[in-house]
Amino acid sequence: MRISTFFYTIKQGVINIFRNKWFTLASIATIGACLFLFGLFYSVLMNVQSIVKSAQENISITVLFDEGISDDRIAEIGALIEKRPEVSHTRFISADEAWESFKDEYLGEYQDGFTENPLENSASYEIYLADVSMQPALVTYLEGVEGVREVNRSEITAATLTGVNALIAYISLGIIAILFAVSVFLISNTVTIGIAVRKEEITIMKYIGATDFFVRSPFVIEGMMIGAVGAVIPLGIIYVVYNQVLEFILTKFSMLTKLLSFVPVETIFARLLPVSMAIGVGIGFLGSIVTVRKHLRV
């Protein structure tokens, strides 16, 4: 392709955008609305997952040992637990630490009456899981380990969180699928209307001897630009709104901040920005190619 033809094609693509203002606006609005919903849903999903994940991280299993067990054996059991793939990390609480914690929490000023540690046999491991769905398997394993007296777990919480996580994944997949089906329908309709207006122009070009590539290129450039703008606008809105909503929640419901861990906007955008841009430009590219193709057989 000649350099002058290249620039001519780009110029025609840009001119098309301004020449068909209503078509351009309708297309940008359609792509923008779909990508806004996509971005919104993605942001909510990321936060819910983050909250579930942090809740999972707080679920622990406590392992208590047989009376009179040696420190060496406790260390050995600790090493065995650390090796398990479902374990995120462990914390050893010695008998003295357990007593100190108990005294502070429950006895207050009455704690002076004790000269010996009544929780002498209460050294334990707190085990935090990388994946809470593996909790039952780990518990079964731990109960079989020699020297382990008792394994305490919170089965209901673990099962609930696993269920919630799976439910959210299914719902999000479903909504994203519906969203894409709707957006493909809307965009294809918008592009079809836009092309119908220019059918005559395409026919003239073909009669004069324009190649399919020459006819198609300005439309493709137009489509990609509309797609890019259609992606940038909702991204901008989401960026501003997200920060404001986060600020609102953190100031109005400050007690939630300890319970819930929100994802910073930068983390959300690290993936949302390239994905949205790719979807916007991709829809513009494919939409224009497919729709122009119908009219090229002249």
Binding site for other proteins (CB under 8 A): 1-2, 4-5, 8, 19, 200-201, 203-212, 214, 298
Note whether 145 and 79 are within 8 A (CB).
Answer: no
d(CA 64, CA 126): 9
Q: 150 vs 200, which CB is nearer to other proteins?
A: 200
Q: Using DSSP, state whether 153 is helix, strand or coil.
A: coil
Output DSSP code: residue 215. H
Rounded least distance, CB 203 to other proteins, Å = 8
Backbone torsion region of residue 157, taken as left when φ is above 0, otherwise alpha when ψ lies between -120 and 50, otherwise beta: alpha
- In the complex, the smallest distance separating the C-beta of residue 253 from other proteins, rounded to whole angstroms, is 56
Shortest Å, Cβ 27 to other proteins:
18
Write down the least CB distance from residue 193 to other proteins, Å.
Answer: 18
Nearer to other proteins, 2 or 252 (CB): 2
Minimum CB distance to other proteins, residue 31 (Å): 24
For other proteins, which is the closer residue by CB, 52 or 210? Answer: 210
User: CA 277, CA 78: separation in Å to the nearest integer?
Assistant: 48
Could you give the C-alpha distances from 36 to 163, 184, 230, in angstroms and in order? Answer: 28, 15, 9
DSSP E strands in 116-233: the ranges are 124-129, 148-152
